[in-house]
Structure 1
Amino acid sequence: MTLEEAIKKFKFHCTYEKNLSSKTLRAYDIDINQFLEKFITYKIEKISKFDLKDYVENLYIYSYKIKTIKRKIAVLKAFFNYLEFEELIDINPFRKLKLSLKEPKLLPKTLELKEIKVILKHLYHLKNNFTNKESFSYKLLVRDIVSIEILFSTGIRVSELSNLKKNEINIKLGVIKIFGKGSKERIIQICDKEVLNLLKEYTKLFNSEKNTNEYFLLNRFNKNFSEQCIRNMLQKYQRELGLKHITPHMFRHSFATLLLEEGVDIRYIQNMLGHASISTTQIYTKVTVKHQRKLLNAKHPRRNFNFSL
């Protein structure tokens, strides 16, 4: 069997038997098609551990990040495991291959509280001084503020925000239902009155009876506000204010870090972020070194000692 034929079978398996999400399937397509380009003339039983070694080496040569390389290898492992399970190959070449790929431990990039305050102050100033509050431009501004407020209030992922449905927000109760990775559901409450009032205003502006779109955040064409559009929106205000590069994920990191600095138990933060493992959340304990220094300078009992002559 050719590699191309085997890949078609694997894609069918991922789509209809494993029932993977469309986003995962797109990622699989990219990685498996890249592998196909390299070995398109090969029969599957002829691909050896040495071919796989060369392929991984090429990924390094093309300067892919370790995280990306690990993902591409994980897809290939799933592919060859499938081939072995279906007895399309006798031996999985990955069984004879030892790979140790260690990612550099980078702390998540966050926004400082004062930076978030600058962004929101700017946006509310634009909103409060908008001359024509019946215009579509005003509606879009309110939507932008709502997007940022939800990012900061809940620590939601940009994909979760973009795909948020109208029926998943109960403004009266201040509750947002989020379906995260692996379709795991979590509930987050919004308690700030200003944010809740903004959500009510947005709902009146966008969610009229004529609007049959199920998504909560909409673009100018009445379609859901896409992940890329949310990123572009943030970069627009970043340029206006002359700030450093801002991404939606930085609000998620800031949400976790600032709550941790306020003494919130890490397990509550884990639950709010939708992390399956506490070890994923624990990275934020390393980010709070700056806050720790402030606390020790201000609160440590040793500060009252003075033995200098």
Structure 2
Amino acid sequence: MSDASVDDLVVDYLSHLAVERGLSDNTVAAYRRDLDRYRHFLAGRGLTDLAQVSAVDVSEFSRDLARRDLAPASVSRAVVAVRNLHAFALAEGRVGLDVAHEVSPGARPRRLPKALSIESVEALLDSCDTTTVEGLRDRALLELLYGTGARVSEVCSLDVDDLTPVLSDPQQGLRLFGKGGRERVVPLGSYAADAVRGWLVRGRPGWAASHGSGSAPAAPALLLNQRGGRLSRQSAWAVIQRAGQRAGITEHLSPHSLRHSFATHLLDGGADVRVVQELLGHASVTTTQIYTLVTVEHLREVYRSSHPRALSSDERDGPTTPVGTTD
């Protein structure tokens, strides 16, 4: 049997992933499924030796997956697995050429971020009962997320001293530290500032006083849990879930939902994409531009529903039953 037997190489490569690279069982299982598809495809073409495989074969495998109505992301993942198998075979000296390295896995479809409507955001914020300490904390969290577009990790890491200068002089802006420690300054709107003041004056002191002596002091943290410790990202996620339930929002919610909504509503209001890039802390404007696709789709929907000549009468009324037929 050839040293480049497809079956043997797949077994050896999967062992390499599990033992030498330490990948999880689920990841190795995904590779196994994709490479099993590849093995069967090659066998159907009479190819049992990887050294016999050409770049055309790899490209045909990709097209075969697409014809099977697999999701583009699944096709892309399978082609990546095949490319990695060929690269492994070359590195192990079991083939003399990597024929798969130029075969593109294809671009994964971009998932448009889901933004809430302004009405849904207002319902979410208004669902917090600010007559309670928990409600004051939750309102401050949500207003900060939506009012600044910050990541949940950035908000949860804020200390009281980070807000004190801004609350006394809003012109200073709020300093946030994002990915890679990159610093940016964002405006703090009046709604967010009022919510933070309410929490600092009427809510936080009680929870800070309940902080146990057996854990690290919570004094610096802006947002606290009921035990007086710093609010975690996981707890912030739970706050948003509960607020969504109270507000009757059935859409999927996460802390990023408010960040997405922040960006989309700014662009809908006419903000320049470069300004939104700075506010979000994106290193590249390309990342921010995905939000422009959301607003274009929103504009298209508004146009189709509002302009008298955007749709024909048939399109507006929907499909009708042809004359002479019944249903």
Confirm or deny that 1:33 pairs with 2:33.
no
- Which residue does 1:114 correspond to in 2? 119
With over 3 angstroms needed to count, the CA separation of the structure-2 counterparts of 1:3 and 1:153, relative to structure 1, is same
Does the CA-based 8 Å contact 2:87-2:101 persist in structure 1? no
The C-alpha deviation readout for 1:90-109, integer Å capped at 9, x for no partner, is: 65464153433451x55432
Q: Select 2:186's aligned residue among 181, 188, 200.
A: 188
Residues 197-236 of structure 1 aligned to structure 2 (within 5 Å): 197-198=197-198, 200-201=200-201, 203-207=204-208, 210=213, 211-212=216-217, 217-220=223-226, 222=229, 224-227=231-234, 229-236=235-242
Q: Select 2:248's aligned residue among 242, 245, 249.
A: 242
Q: Select 2:271's aligned residue among 255, 264, 268.
A: 264
With over 3 angstroms needed to count, the CA separation of the structure-2 counterparts of 1:173 and 1:66, relative to structure 1, is farther
- Which residue does 1:177 correspond to in 2? 176
Q: In structure 1, what is the Cα distance between the partners aligned to 2:87 and 2:100?
A: 12
Q: In structure 2, what is the Cα distance between the partners aligned to 1:276 and 1:84?
A: 37
Letter of the structure 2 residue corresponding to residue 34 of structure 1 = A
User: How much has 1:116 moved relative to structure 2?
Assistant: 1.6
- Which residue does 1:97 correspond to in 2? 103
Does the CA-based 8 Å contact 1:3-1:36 persist in structure 2? no
With over 3 angstroms needed to count, the CA separation of the structure-2 counterparts of 1:205 and 1:225, relative to structure 1, is farther
Letter of the structure 1 residue corresponding to residue 205 of structure 2 = K
The C-alpha deviation readout for 1:12-53, integer Å capped at 9, x for no partner, is: 7xxxxxxxxxxxxxxx7477433455469x9xx969787998
Letter of the structure 2 residue corresponding to residue 121 of structure 1 = D
Instruction: Give the superposed CA RMSD.
Output: 4.6
With over 3 angstroms needed to count, the CA separation of the structure-2 counterparts of 1:172 and 1:158, relative to structure 1, is closer
Letter of the structure 2 residue corresponding to residue 280 of structure 1 = T
User: How much has 1:152 moved relative to structure 2?
Assistant: 0.2
- Which residue does 1:143 correspond to in 2? 137
With over 3 angstroms needed to count, the CA separation of the structure-2 counterparts of 1:223 and 1:191, relative to structure 1, is closer
Letter of the structure 2 residue corresponding to residue 249 of structure 1 = H
With over 3 angstroms needed to count, the CA separation of the structure-2 counterparts of 1:236 and 1:107, relative to structure 1, is same
Q: In structure 2, what is the Cα distance between the partners aligned to 1:230 and 1:286?
A: 28
Structure 2, gaps ≥5 residues long: 1-8, 40-48, 167-173, 307-327
> Equivalent residue of 1:270, what SS?
helix
The C-alpha deviation readout for 1:151-179, integer Å capped at 9, x for no partner, is: 10121234544xx3245960113324232
With over 3 angstroms needed to count, the CA separation of the structure-2 counterparts of 1:80 and 1:274, relative to structure 1, is farther
Does the CA-based 8 Å contact 1:31-1:75 persist in structure 2? no
> Equivalent residue of 1:170, what SS?
helix
User: How much has 1:267 moved relative to structure 2?
Assistant: 0.6
With over 3 angstroms needed to count, the CA separation of the structure-2 counterparts of 1:215 and 1:283, relative to structure 1, is same
Does the CA-based 8 Å contact 1:168-1:177 persist in structure 2? no
User: How much has 1:73 moved relative to structure 2?
Assistant: 6.2
Q: In structure 1, what is the Cα distance between the partners aligned to 2:237 and 2:206?
A: 22
Q: In structure 2, what is the Cα distance between the partners aligned to 1:73 and 1:203?
A: 53
Query: Taking structure 1 as the reference length, what is the TM-score of the superposition?
Result: 0.61
Does the CA-based 8 Å contact 1:81-1:92 persist in structure 2? yes
Q: In structure 2, what is the Cα distance between the partners aligned to 1:58 and 1:285?
A: 32
Does the CA-based 8 Å contact 2:13-2:88 persist in structure 1? no
Q: Select 2:258's aligned residue among 251, 259, 263.
A: 251
> Equivalent residue of 1:186, what SS?
strand
User: How much has 1:11 moved relative to structure 2?
Assistant: 3.6
With over 3 angstroms needed to count, the CA separation of the structure-2 counterparts of 1:237 and 1:187, relative to structure 1, is same
- Which residue does 1:20 correspond to in 2? none
Does the CA-based 8 Å contact 2:185-2:279 persist in structure 1? yes
Letter of the structure 1 residue corresponding to residue 289 of structure 2 = Q
The C-alpha deviation readout for 1:183-211, integer Å capped at 9, x for no partner, is: 54433342423133145345534455755
Does the CA-based 8 Å contact 1:157-1:249 persist in structure 2? yes
Residues 125-136 of structure 1 aligned to structure 2 (within 5 Å): 126-128=129-131, 130=132
> Equivalent residue of 2:271, what SS?
coil
Does the CA-based 8 Å contact 2:267-2:292 persist in structure 1? yes
- Percent identity of equivalent pairs: 20
User: How much has 1:59 moved relative to structure 2?
Assistant: 11
Q: In structure 2, what is the Cα distance between the partners aligned to 1:59 and 1:168?
A: 54
User: How much has 1:6 moved relative to structure 2?
Assistant: 2.8
